[in-house]
Structure 1
């Protein structure tokens, strides 16, 4: 069975790929915060998706990325792809 993608995995990948804006606390309760409010624009999210795809061996559709406006939504999308790939 494929590994589950967690909020901690997302935090790590966000920090590795794009860092964090000053004043943004990724360790807080960010599950339902908009990525834009966290300081992550579309390019940073594309980089994040690319890193997720490489690390987890999945493919994330562009529509999925466009719809995943929060960490919770992106985590759910990644886990859905992981369950299909398993």
Structure 2
């Protein structure tokens, strides 16, 4: 299996495609440690983003853990930990 990594660019693309980008949401620049709420994304938008990631990357994001990923960095780390676990299986 290839080494699949989920990147900030992947997250930005999926956020824009699935949750939309409101005029105030600025995904340019260094956003890794900015909370999603400050970026203009609410919990519903993150659930949609999570669903899209699950389908695209064939992983399951735990609904109890997902809300704890409040920043892009935490979200990316969560996805990558699941991807690496799937590669080991």
Calculate the TM-score normalised by the size of structure 2: 0.91
Q: Matched residues in 2 for 1:18 and 1:73: separation?
A: 18
Match of residue 69 from structure 2: 68
Deviation at 1:62, TM superposition (A): 1.0
The answer to whether the 8 Å contact 2:24/2:40 transfers is no
Residue pairs, 1:39-58, within 5 angstroms = 39-58=40-59
Q: Which consecutive residues of structure 2, in runs of 5 or more, have no partner in the other structure?
A: none
Aligned to 1:35: 36
User: What is the rounded CA distance, in whole Å, between the counterparts of 1:61 and 1:26 in structure 2?
Assistant: 25
What is the RMSD of the two structures over their aligned residues, measured on CA atoms? 0.9
